[in-house]
Every structure is written in structure tokens, then in C-alpha cells.
Amino acid sequence: MNRRTLGTSLGVSAQGLGCMGMSQSYGEADLAESEATLLKALDLGITFFDTADAYGAGHNEELVGRVLKPHRDRIQLATKFAIVPGKDGKLMGVQCDPAYVKQACEASLTRLGLDHIDLYYMHRLDPNVPIEDTVGAMSELVSEGKVKHLGLCEISSKTIRRAHAVHPITAVQSEYSLWTREVEEHVLPVCGELGIGFVPFSPLGRGFLTGALSKDDLGKGDMRTMLPRFSDENFDTNRALVSAVEELAAGKGVKAGQIALAWVMAKSDGIVPIPGTKRRKYLEENAEADAIDLTTDDLAKLDAIFGGGAVTGERYPQAIMDTVEKD
């Protein structure tokens, strides 16, 4: 696995591993396979691991920390704070006041079993707290040695600028893939201007862009059943777009998902995608995308397939979209 740099100094593997699905959102968990997948990632040269305090209500941090702690000198670990359970136990609230920032960091360090976090993200913006106050508290964690680098998630370019003025931001994380392109207009240019790395989550469109997903695969406990792009009215239209990717992939002797990942990675050396999986089989497939070189013509074809409003359906229901800060 090649290496890339986020920001000015955080060296990571060219792909990371999104760990959320090991604890929630994509059907039943398989603890043994999840543990094996984490260790297999190291064998493949993947050293950048992404979790959050909200994933599995802390379970994901405990899992990732327990398995990877013996390999601490080889890994770069990212986690997040801000999303907290709502009063009804279902809705999610956001809290980013300075006292909570420090409280959340201490709790994450305890669950992880580590003495510092390599990259600490604000998971969502708290509309009731100025970003300067939140990042100010995060910067104090850096001064205390509990955090090495700071990041922001699902944020606007204007807020990125304000945050970066308080303390250097190393990475911005948001959804980005062939079928989710909003960050291209404002966020990616600002990251490039300020020397901030970009970390796309769901670069495979939550599995849709692999072409291997059918409607029957979405069972109980799978969050995709509530996402508009996976609904009965949109699934087949979007699936036709993936068929065009499969055709291009077949000509190169690779898979559609590998092409989708290679497309993201080709956009900039400062981009480090974190495809999520809880299975070694898919982890190995994803890692192979690091060796795929797409031509200028390939990139243009892929852009054309998904351009012009070809994708149908929002990426989230409105309640969740409302938590994503937009330019």
C-alpha cells in the first residue's frame, strides 16, 4: 500500500479503513471476522483506521482499540466526538461546547485504551456553539498531548476557514464518491488552498457502486433501507449507472468497486478514502484499487456517467441531511 500525507505532516496509508460497520448500521456484527479484518488491514499495509464515539455507542472504539493497541507504533487512529443520543433514544443530537469536547476525548481515550488520538474530528457542527470555541478546546487537547491532529466532518468551506484560523486543520471528512459530488464545488478547493487533507467516507456509495448489491441484500438492521437512493423507486435507475462502470472495469480486468475507489484516489494526492468493511474479502478487493491507474479518458467517462443529475435520490433522509452543514 502506498503512503499519502494529510495536511502538512500526518503520514497515512493511501487508503484507510472505515470501522463503523463492525458495530452498527449494516446488519449483524461478526466480532471474530471484524477482529480478523482489522489485523488483515495491517498485513496489507493499511495503517489508517477510522472510528467514532457514536459508532455502536462506544463499542467500535473499544473493539478497534483492543485489537490494534499492540500495534500502536504502526497505526494512525482517527476518532470523532459531537453526536450524542437524543432524548427519545432514536434521534441524534450534537454537542460541541468546550467542556463536552474535553469530556468526550477523555471517554474515547478510555475506551480505546490509548494515551493519545492521532486525528480527532468534530463529527458534526453544533449550531449553538461558535466553531472558534470548539476548535479552541480541541487545540488545548493538542497542547496537552492527548490529540496530535484536528479534523472536521460534513462541514462548509466557510466554517473550514474559520476553524483553520484558530488551529491548523489536518483533515476534513465528508461523503465523496462517483455518486456524491457536492464537495467538489467549495470544500475540496478550500482544502487544496489551505493544505488540508480530505478523507472521503462511503467512497463505494455504501456498497452500491460495487455492483454486487441487490435489493434482497438489505435486511433488518441495515441503515440503507432508509436511504432514498436505495429505495424501490430509485434503486434500478441508479443501478443502471453502475452497469456502465462495470463495463469499463471489465475492460481492465478489475471490478466496478475498484474502479470507483481508483477514481476517488486519482482526484488528488491529498485525498485518502476510508472504504468501510467488516470482511477480509472486501478489504482485499479494496486494497487492490491502490494499484489501478486510470487514464484521463477513463476519468472523463466516469464523470460523464454520473453527471447531469443522473443519480436519483438524496444521500440521507431530510432529518439527517439537516445535520450536514452546507455552503
Residue 233 in any domain: the answer is yes
pLDDT at residue 55 above 80?
A: yes
With cut-offs at 50, 70 and 90, classify the pLDDT of residue 25. Answer: low
**Structural domain count of the chain:** 1
- Catalytic annotation present for 55: yes
Q: Mean pLDDT throughout 68-78?
A: 97
pLDDT at residue 92 above 80?
A: no
Residue 46 in any domain: the answer is yes
Residue 112 in any domain: the answer is yes
Residue 276 in any domain: the answer is yes
Q: Which of 26, 55, 121, 176 is catalytic?
A: 55
Residue 107 in any domain: the answer is yes
pLDDT tens digit sequence for 243-253 = 999 999 999 99
Tell me if 173 sits within 8 A of 121, measured CB to CB.
Answer: yes
How big is the CA angle at 75 (ends 70 and 76), to the nearest 5 degrees? 135
Burial category of 240 from C-beta neighbours within 10 Å (exposed 0-12, middle 13-18, buried 19 and up): exposed
Residue 82 in any domain: the answer is yes
**Chain centroid to CA 325:** 16
Residue 145 in any domain: the answer is yes
| Phi-psi label, residue 154: left if phi above 0, alpha if psi -120 to 50, beta otherwise | left
Full-model pTM: 0.95
pLDDT at 141: 98
Task: Look up the domain containing 296 and give its range.
Answer: 3-321
Tell me if 4 sits within 8 A of 270, measured CB to CB.
Answer: yes
With cut-offs at 50, 70 and 90, classify the pLDDT of residue 323. Answer: confident
Residues sharing a CB contact under 8 Å with residue 147, sequence separation 6 or more, in sequence order? 105, 116, 117, 120, 138, 141
Residue from 41, 37, 12 nearest 22 by CA: 37
pLDDT at 226: 86
Residue from 32, 86, 30, 31 nearest 54 by CA: 86
pLDDT tens digit sequence for 177-196 = 999 999 999 999 999 999 99
Residue from 240, 253, 246, 248 nearest 298 by CA: 248
pLDDT at residue 136 above 80?
A: yes
Residue from 47, 99, 55 nearest 77 by CA: 47
pLDDT tens digit sequence for 39-51 = 999 999 999 999 9
Q: Mean pLDDT throughout 154-175?
A: 98
Look up the CATH number of the domain holding residue 253: 3.20.20.100
Residue 326 in any domain: the answer is no
